[in-house]
């Protein structure tokens, strides 16, 4: 069994008097594609933000690469952040920079590489995510929705992380583009040895590329495991997300 990369233990999250998480626990193992699934308001995006240190739970702990992220100093946190990449739902590309400049920004910020080598690395990342070579000169406003996702993914992969966080990666894409992006994620996981954590509501993604997932509801973990393991659980929230039929899963 692969080693644990992320361990979430008894997370409680409150916003004022509003309870979001009530003792949430899950484990994510090396080289798997793991999804956070749940309805609107279930706290899946909040949990992702806590994993990447953009939010702090009220209690409980999150260990990433064996480090309790709540105990890290600012310099230690900065070093840990360089071990993962993040693809935000909207892409979050800087609109005033070209695709190439968006990707190069990470090399300029975190490395001492010369400009010529940075340029070659940027071209490599653009090719890696399936964008055409000329995309390096395009601005985000000149890209289709699918190209924005790929450009943001190239930036997330700039520093060769072993951990990749994706927030609703297929949101806003048509069905064909969604499946192509799913396949890209699977290929990159296999090629680069990535561990992938994604927030998604796309049941086709769950069905086709996700190894395991956690289903959140009622402020707790309703189920965790592979698709077949979760479908074996008798719970109304499981039934709400997955219509169980003799011929498989209907989304």
Evaluate if residue 50 carries a pLDDT over 50.
yes
Mean pLDDT of 36-62: 92
Query: What CATH number has the domain spanning 4-83+163-250?
Result: 3.40.50.300
pLDDT at 245: 41
Residue 27: the pLDDT is: 96
What span, in angstroms and rounded, lies between the C-alpha atoms of 230 and 185?
Answer: 23
- Tell me if 61 sits within 8 A of 37, measured CB to CB: no
- Measured in residues, the chain has a length of 251
C-alpha to C-alpha distance for 42 and 78, rounded to whole angstroms = 29
Answer whether residue 44 shows pLDDT above 60.
yes
pTM assigned to the model = 0.90
* Whole-number pLDDT of residue 22: 94
Average pLDDT score over residue span 76-101: 91
Residue 153 predicted with pLDDT over 60: yes
Sequence-ordered strand ranges (E) for 43-148: 59-64, 67-68, 84-87
Domains of the chain, by residue range, sit at 4-83+163-250, 92-160
Sheet strands (E) in the chain: 4-15, 18-29, 33-38, 59-64, 67-68, 84-87, 163-167, 195-199, 212-217, 220-225, 243-245, 248-250
């Amino acid at each position: 069994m692969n080693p644990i990369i992320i361990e979430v233990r008894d997370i409680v999250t409150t916003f004022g008097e509003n309870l979001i998480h009530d003792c949430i626990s899950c484990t994510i193992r090396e080289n798997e594609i793991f999804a956070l699934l749940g309805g609107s308001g279930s706290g899946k995006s909040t949990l992702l933000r806590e994993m990447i240190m953009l939010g702090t739970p009220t209690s409980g702990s999150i260990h990433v690469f064996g480090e309790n992220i709540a105990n890290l100093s600012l310099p230690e946190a900065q070093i840990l952040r360089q071990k993962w990449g993040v693809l935000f739902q909207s892409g979050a590309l800087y609109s005033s920079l070209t695709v190439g400049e968006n990707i190069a920004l990470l090399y300029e910020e975190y490395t001492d590489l010369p400009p010529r080598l940075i340029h070659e690395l940027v071209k490599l990342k653009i090719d890696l995510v399936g964008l055409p070579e000329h995309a390096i000169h395009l601005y985000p406003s000149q890209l289709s929705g699918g190209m924005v996702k790929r450009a943001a993914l190239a930036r997330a992969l700039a520093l060769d992380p072993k951990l990749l966080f994706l927030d609703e990666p297929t949101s806003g894409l048509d069905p064909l583009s969604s499946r192509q992006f799913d396949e890209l994620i699977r290929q990159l996981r296999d090629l680069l040895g990535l561990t992938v954590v994604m927030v998604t509501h796309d049941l086709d993604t769950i069905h086709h590329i996700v190894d395991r997932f956690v289903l959140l509801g009622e402020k707790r973990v309703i189920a965790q495991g592979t698709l077949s393991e979760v479908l074996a659980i008798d719970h109304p929230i499981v039934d709400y997300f997955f219509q169980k039929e003799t011929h498989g899963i209907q989304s």
